[in-house]
Structure formats: structure tokens, C-alpha cells
Amino acid sequence: MIQFRSIEFGFAGQRLFKDFNLNIVAGRSTALMGSSGSGKSTLLRLILGLLTPDAGEIVVGGEPLTADRLIDIRRRTGYLIQSGGLFPHLTARDNVTLMARRSGWNPRQIDQRLAELAELTRLKMDLLKRMPSALSGGQRQRVALMRALMLDPDLLLLDEPFSALDPLIRHELQDELKALIGELNKTVVLVSHDVAEAAWLADHLVLLSEGEIIQQGAFSVFRDQPATPFVEQFLAASRGLPE
């Protein structure tokens, strides 16, 4: 689905990725883990074309990511960030349906999709009439997830979507998202600094440090065969890891 081939990229003259290579398999959930500054969120922005590599190639759906493909790829990609990123001047409903309306969907299509997504995310339909400021943090994240799923994207990018929420709401949404991932059968790329969250939501984990892949594989591989002392330290710093 997505390939990073010999990627070179940096900010303000400081190199982050050097000859970086990674394959993200279609139909699987992949979690990018690491400390702040390791390059996790940068990889998502590179996939969306919000950033451009200095060298190398990004392949999406079997074809190189080029400027003329960006609009189409973005329309087929759902993107959810930590704060939700809802437009404060639009109702929840208008936030969710914005791209569908711009894409020429008729009102019946929109209403049908809204009902499907409200059921999937367990959000009451009457809450969609509210402005974002009148919703709780958990409700805003559900609305943001509905917006990300509105156009039924092939690819779902989640950039630490629950880290700003309190633990009870976060765990509830993690459970619901795990069920959603299994039900939707989409390619999901999740950014998280929380190993327990990554292990719960993703099939394949990728641990980054300063732009390099330290280890990747299933959580059991990290647990039973840590590649370096850094992997052991990173796991040990987490709490509530699965058995």
C-alpha cells in the first residue's frame, strides 16, 4: 500500500531521515511509535504530501506519490489528529459532511452515510447539531473520526488521536476504534508514543528513534526478542502492557 524508498528529509538543515525505507502493508493496521522528534508524525505528513522528501520516493497504491496525484490520494485518505481539528465555526454535522458536500454528494447519500457513521462511532445523532465547543472531548473525537471516515477512505491516518483525553474516555475510544478497525478492513497507520495503545490497536509495530527504525514486527517480537537495549527501555517505560 505505502512504501518509503531511500527517503532523505530534514528540517532547517538538520537531517531527520537518511536512506529511510519502510513498507506499510495494505489491509493491516501499523503503529509508528517513538519519542518526540523520532519522525512519527512527519511520516504521515509525507504520505499526505504536506511535506516533500529531499530525495527518495514514496509509493502509494503501487504508484509514486506525485503532485498530480495528491488531491486524489487525500480524498481517499482519512486523517485524524490529536485535537480533532474540527472547524469551530461549523456544526458537528457540517464538519463531518464538508468534503462530501464539496464532492457533490446528494442530501440522501449524506444522510445515509451520517447515520451509518453515528452508529459505528456510537454518537447520538442529535449531537451533530451542536457546535464543537458544546461537545465533550470524547464527543469531539468521535465527530473527527466520523469526518475522517465520511468518504469511505482506503487509508486511515491517526496521529495520536486520543492522547489529549482523560484515561476513561481514552480507553473507551480505544476499544471502539479497535472494533472499528476490525470491522472496516482498511489500511490504518497510527502514530502513538503509548506502547500499550499501539499493541492494542495495531497488528504491526514500528519503533523509531531519531529517524531510524530500531525494530518492527508484532508486539510479541518486541516483548520476547527486543533488538536493542533501547527497545527494552522503551517497553519498560510503558505501563499496562498486554501479556
Summarised one tens digit per residue, pLDDT across range 102-131 is 999 999 999 999 999 998 888 999 999 999
Q: pLDDT confidence of 243, banded at 50, 70, 90?
A: low
Summarised one tens digit per residue, pLDDT across range 151-199 is 988 899 999 887 767 777 778 778 888 887 888 778 999 998 888 889 9
Position 31 scores a pLDDT of 96
CATH number at residue 196: 3.40.50.300
- How much of the chain, in percent, has pLDDT values that exceed 70? 98
Q: How many CB atoms lie within 10 A of CB 218?
A: 13
Position 215 scores a pLDDT of 97
Name residue, grid cell 468534503. Answer: 99
Distance between CA atoms of residues 216 and 3, nearest Å = 15
Domain boundary among 152, 174, 203: 152
Q: What is the pTM of this model?
A: 0.87
Position 33 scores a pLDDT of 95
* Domain hosting residue 211, numbered range: 1-76+155-243
Which triple of cell numbers denotes residue 57?
A: 520516493
Distance between CA atoms of residues 93 and 131, nearest Å = 9
Check whether residue 111 and residue 142 sit in a common domain. yes
Partnered with residue 58 across adjacent β-strands are 4
Domain boundary among 152, 182, 207: 152
Check whether residue 3 and residue 69 sit in a common domain. yes
Position 91 scores a pLDDT of 97
Number of domains in the chain: 2
Backbone angles phi, psi at 175, to 5 degrees: -60, -45
